[in-house]
Structure 1
Amino acid sequence: MTTYNFSSGPAVLPRDVLLQVQQELTDWHGSGMSVMEMSHRGPEFTQIITEAEADLRAVLAIPANYKVLFLQGGAHFQFGMIPLNLTQPGDTVDYVNTGSWSKTAIKEAQRYANVNIVASSEDRNFSYVPDEAGWQRSANAKYLHYCSNETIGGVEFPFIPQSDVPLICDMSSNILSQPLDVSRYGLIYAGAQKNIGPSGMTIAIIREDLIGHARAEVPTMLNYKTHADASSLYNTPPSFAIYVAGLVFKWLQKNGGLDAMARHNATKAALVYDAIDGSGGFYRAPVSGACRSRMNVPFWLKDAALDAEFLQGAEAAGLVQLKGHRSVGGMRASIYNAMPLEGVQALVAYMADFARRHG
């Protein structure tokens, strides 16, 4: 029986990539070393990180005036690094609040700057993206921050916000899922463990003019300039995660790039949402309309007393990690790039069968 992993992160990786990792695990390209053993200063790893950056630049069409940084600490680290690098004490920054990760970023930014909430969807339990026409922007904001896809709530921005100040985006759970105009942004950051590779790494794509303005007291390791000047090799980097990410970037190119991923993800998401909407109320999705995430699909059963049985039956059918986040309950199917269409088809078939037996 095939197992399909719907975890929100660390998430499913392309099978072809995992098989290549397995093949190269003890001896990378005849070097006699595993990637986990080799020096990050040696020629072997230099090749790995150089190719990974070049392939990511090709996949995302990253302009030449942007630095690509392979960092540690997860997106949580970026919540503090951003205001520490882009503001001075007393500065104002604008944030859009559309869910759990937006709230966490806001809370951290409030330690270092005056945070103006330009818009919030908390009034309807974070089930939508506020209309941009109503956003209350600051006249003197240093940047505008938003989270393009809320992993927990299943809300995804259907547009890129307009901004006269640097636009900053937490793109952890939908980066590489569709074509993207990087030039619209000042900084994009993403934890690797959803659409990029293993956990333990964060990628930051930052416009060069935003580097070099950190506060004087910022620790060396929290300064973007430190990592930009050292080509992400100031300290020992997350080398194995960089290696796997590089294989994922090659896999993306081999499989048609981001245009193909966009079609693949739209097809999968439509299958799940059609199953929910066509269930006669047996299943319910909290997000409606154009703001529904293509990556994370939360849903509830009409009777929460059936949750445990639904999960038990799903696991028996090879459909794992479907339990919703503890803060919201219910179910959540995360269907990132590497989730094959067959996995979503198996989920939809199980959902229909369960509803027939319990409806």
Structure 2
Amino acid sequence: MRVEGLGKEYIIGHQKSGDLRSSFAEKISSALGRNKIKESFWAIKDLDFEIKKGEAVGIIGRNGAGKSTLLKILSRITEPTTGRFEINGRVSSLLEVGTGFHMELTGRENIFLNGTILGMKRAEIKQKFDEIVDFSGVEKFLDTPVKHYSSGMKVRLAFSVAAHLEPEILIVDEVLAVGDAEFQKKCLGKMDEVSKNEGRTVIFVSHNMGAVERLCDTGIHLERGKGIYRGEIDSALNSYLNNSKLNEGEYFDHNSEKETPFIKKVKVNTSLPDQIHQFGEVLEILFSINIPFELNDPALSFQIIDQLGVPIVHQWYFDKDLGNFCTNGEQKIICIIEKPRLYMGNYSLNVFFSEKKYDTNIRLLNICPFRIEMTKAREEFPWNEGACKYIEDSKWILDA
């Protein structure tokens, strides 16, 4: 696989579009000369690299670095704006939950559909069929339409199909995070087998640096759509970790026109400037969530992860805990961790928000980086010997 001068440009508008009301408003604005100026945004730009047959390559970078856009181009889901790429061999991709599935067809029918799309004959698919079903663990639901599958079941079947239908190149995005820990381990083992034993190429995107380090031989570090480093995986990880800017410690969604629930803001309130937090002191994490309608059983949770993507702390909050979370409008919530058990080092957040009524499932990964440092002398700490026996003592407070 060879990529030369690859770039993808998007035109960003600030107006709604699609429904009748928005279209009418746009026409009125146009007639009055009030159309807002649109701006261009390069998701990736001037990207060059080569991947050899049989390599397991990790694509790493922060949110918005261009990782998913790159994979969509390589999977031929979207066309590049500039540059070119060459791929020798059959590509199988797993980029989003349900990718490549026809929701009205059963799991069985989708296996044959995917194989046909990849250019396989029916006899070839039949040879792999039992192996695919056994790996996915969805045998009981094989003749059920995929639209009735849970997200975890869709991921299980989709990965099994992608990995077993003998692609020369297997592309996998962060979607594996939807599955349980046991299945993730199983998938990593399968990708390792595909790469090392079968000589197939694997391109893997994940915020779990530990998984990337275990699976991949080489890495490509992206920042703001550009390639920062291409080389051995250890060096690529160091490039990524060293280039993470702690002062970008706040997540903010600028789109104020969304008509579905979304996380507007997440911020770690550190005790010192530049996203530095004093070891042992109370840690506060602020969430601002836009809720346009009354919701059904909303749930918010987050993980504090270390620099390799390993969860250290996991906290969650349900509507029943406070009672006012279903109120329309913007809700601000603070989680106070009074005794954070975080040693000196770099950390960030994985944030999850879901609710049943509108089938909302939001995942923000590796956001709000901060650093724990020890700037006080030992005798200044407001705790006694043996305080480490306490687990995280946290509470959720609704900021009305």
Query: Same fold by TM (over 0.5)?
Result: no
Give the TM-score normalised by the residue count of structure 2: 0.31
**Largest Rg, 1 or 2:** 2
Give the TM-score normalised by the residue count of structure 1: 0.34
Greater relative contact order (Cα < 8 A, sep 6+): 1
Greater percentage in strand? 2
